[in-house]
Amino acid sequence: MPFIDRDFINDLPNRVDIVGLINKRVALKKAGKDYKACCPFHEEKTPSFTVVPTKEIYHCFGCGESGGIIDFVMKYDHLSFVEAIETVAGESGISVIYDQTAKPVDKRFERYNQIMTELNNFYQKQLKSSSTKNKVISYAKKRGISGAIAKRFELGFAPAGWTNLFDQYTDKKDSIKDLLSMGMIVQKKDKKDDYYDRFRNRLMFPIHNAKGSVIGFGGRVLSPEDNPKYLNSPETPLFSKSKELYGLYHCRKYSRRIDSILVVEGYMDVIALHQQGITNVVATLGTATTPAHLQVLSRSADTIVFCFDGDKAGKDAAWKALKTSLPSITSGLIIKFLILPEGEDPDTIIKQESAKAFSKRIETAQTLSSFLIDHIKAEVPFDTIEGKTLFLEKSASLINMVNYPIYRQQLIEGIANTVGQNIIQVEKAVEQNKTQNAQFSKNIHSGINQNSPKPMTQKPSINSNLSMKSLMSRMISCVLTYPSIVNDPETSSVIEERARKLPQSDVLLELIRHAQVESDLSKEALILPYKAKERVYLRLQQLSTMEPFLSEFEAKEEFSYALTAAEKYYERKSTKASILSAKTHDEEKAVMKSIMKSKMKTEGQKKTP
In this structure, are 486 and 581 located in the same domain? yes
Q: How far apart are CA 429 and CA 425, in angstroms?
A: 6
pLDDT mean across residues, the chain:
84
Say yes or no: 356 and 323 in one domain.
yes
Are both 518 and 598 inside the same structural domain?
Answer: yes
Report which DSSP code applies to 530: G
Alpha helices of 31-106 — where are they, by DSSP H?
Answer: 69-77, 81-91
Domain boundary among 91, 126, 146: 91
Which of 232, 264, 290 is the endpoint of a domain? Answer: 232
Q: Identify which of 212, 94, 69 has the alpha carbon closest to the alpha carbon of residue 86.
A: 94
What's the total number of domains in the chain? 5
Average pLDDT over residues 523-548: 82
φ and ψ of 579, to 5 deg: -65, -40
Span 219-247, average pLDDT: 89
Same domain, 483 and 587: yes
Closest CA to 327 of 361, 280, 375, 294: 294
Amino acid, single-letter form, for residue 548: P
| Domain assignment of residue 445, yes or no | no
Residue 228 has pLDDT above 80, yes or no: yes
DSSP for 128-170 reads HH-TTHHHHHHHHHHTT--HHHHHHTT-EEE-SSSSTTGGGGT
Q: Say whether both 65 and 168 belong to one domain.
A: no
**Distance, CA of 538 to CA of 442 (rounded, Å):** 10
Distance, CA of 252 to CA of 208 (rounded, Å) = 12
**Are 314 and 343 within one domain?**
yes
Q: Are 476 and 397 in a shared domain?
A: no
Is residue 458 situated within a structural domain?
Answer: no
Q: In sequence order, which residues have a C-beta less than 8 Å from that of residue 604 and are 6 or more positions away?
A: none
322 and 421 in a single domain? The answer is no
**Residue 371 near residue 398 (C-beta atoms within 8 A):** no
Arithmetic mean of pLDDT, 508-523: 76
Q: Is residue 510 part of a domain?
A: yes
3: phi then psi, degrees, rounded to nearest 5: -70, 145
Confidence band of 118 (pLDDT split at 50, 70, 90): very high
Distance separating alpha carbons of residues 411 and 424, to the nearest angstrom: 13
In this prediction, residue 591 carries a pLDDT of 61
pLDDT at 451 over 90: no
Residue 523 has what pLDDT? 80
Q: Which tens digits make up the pLDDT trace of 79-92? A: 888 888 989 998 88
Q: According to the model, what pLDDT value does residue 607 have?
A: 42
Residue 75 structural domain: 6-91
Q: What is the band of 366 on the pLDDT scale with cuts at 50, 70, 90?
A: very high
- The answer, yes or no, to whether residue 3 has pLDDT greater than 90, is no
Tell me: pLDDT of 452 over 50.
Answer: no
* Three-state DSSP string of 457-522: CCCCCCCCCCCHHHHHHHHHHHHHHCHHHHCCCCCHHHHHHHHHCCCCCHHHHHHHHHHHHCCCCC
Tell me, yes or no, whether 134 and 223 share the same domain.
Answer: yes
Cβ atoms of residues 521 and 229 within 8 Å? no
Residue 452 in domain: no
Q: Which of the given ranges, 1-15, 316-330, 429-443, has the highest pLDDT on average?
A: 316-330
592 pLDDT band, cuts 50/70/90, is: low
Which pLDDT belongs to residue 310?
86
pLDDT, residue 197, reads 94
Angle at CA of residue 594, ends 593 and 598, nearest 5°? 115
Verify that 165 and 215 share a domain, yes or no: yes
Residue at 205 is within a domain: yes
pLDDT tens for 457-504 read: 444 333 344 678 888 888 998 888 888 788 765 566 678 888 888 888
Cα–Cα distance, 3 to 101 (Å, whole number): 9
Claim to verify: residue 269 and residue 364 sit in the same structural domain: yes
Whether 120 maps to a domain, the answer reads: yes
Distance CA 388, CA 380 (A): 8
What does the pLDDT read at residue 457?
Answer: 42
Cα three-residue angle 383-385-390, rounded to 5 degrees: 90
- What CATH number is associated with residue 582? 1.10.860
Mean of the pLDDT values across residues 546-570?
81
Is 100 a domain residue?
no
Question: Which has more pLDDT, 412 or 445?
Answer: 412
The domain that contains 51 carries what CATH number? 3.90.580.10
Residue 198's CB: how many other CB atoms inside 10 A? 21
Asked whether residue 423 is assigned to any structural domain, the reply reads yes
* Mean pLDDT value across residues 520-544: 82
pLDDT confidence of residue 121: 96
The letter for the amino acid at 514 is: H
Q: What DSSP character marks residue 450?
A: P
Domain end call among 372, 390, 419: 372
Q: What confidence score (pLDDT) does residue 286 get?
A: 80
| Residues with Cβ within 8 Å of residue 304, at least 6 apart in sequence | 260, 261, 263, 294, 297, 298, 325, 333, 334, 335, 336
- Calculate mean pLDDT across residues 422-442: 70
Q: What is the DSSP string of 587-606?
A: HHHHHHHHHHHHHHHHHHHH
Rg (alpha carbons) of the chain, rounded to whole number? 28
Mean pLDDT of 215-236: 89
pLDDT confidence bin for 578, thresholds 50/70/90: low
227, 127: one domain:
yes
Confidence (pTM): 0.66
For residue 185, what pLDDT band results from cuts at 50, 70 and 90? very high
pLDDT tens by residue, 306-325: 999 888 888 888 998 999 99
